[in-house]
Structure 1
């Protein structure tokens, strides 16, 4: 499971990941080239982070 998040929604993305998967989430910064086209999973802002299980 992967969720993309802007600065505003990162806490929500981490909480939702734990609630949905019951696993510890990993949070990574998106690469500069990925930031240009990746939208937040919760709003229309550009994503800064990716939350996933590794």
Structure 2
């Protein structure tokens, strides 16, 4: 599972990941070259973080 999140929705993304996957996620920053094309999973803002399991 991979969730893209902006600064505003990072708490929600972490909560949803734990509720769905039942494990602690890895949170990484979106690479600079990917920022322009990567949107938050919850709104139309640019994603700042990737919440994933591997």
How big is each residue's C-alpha offset from its partner over 1:1-54, in whole Å with a ceiling of 9 and x where there is no partner? Answer: 000000000000000000000010110001001101100000000000000002
Indicate whether 1:34 and 2:29 are aligned.
no
Unpaired stretches in structure 2, ≥5 consecutive residues? none
Q: Distance in 1 between matches of 2:25 and 2:9?
A: 15
Alignment RMSD, CA only? 0.4
Compute the TM-score of the two structures, normalised by the length of structure 1: 0.97
Corresponding pairs, count: 54
The TM-score, its normalising length taken from structure 2, stands at 0.97
Gaps of 5+ in 1: none
In the aligned structure 2, how far is the partner of 1:17 from the partner of 1:34? Answer: 22
- Runs (4+) of structure 1 exceeding 6 A deviation are none
Secondary structure at the counterpart of residue 51 of structure 2: strand
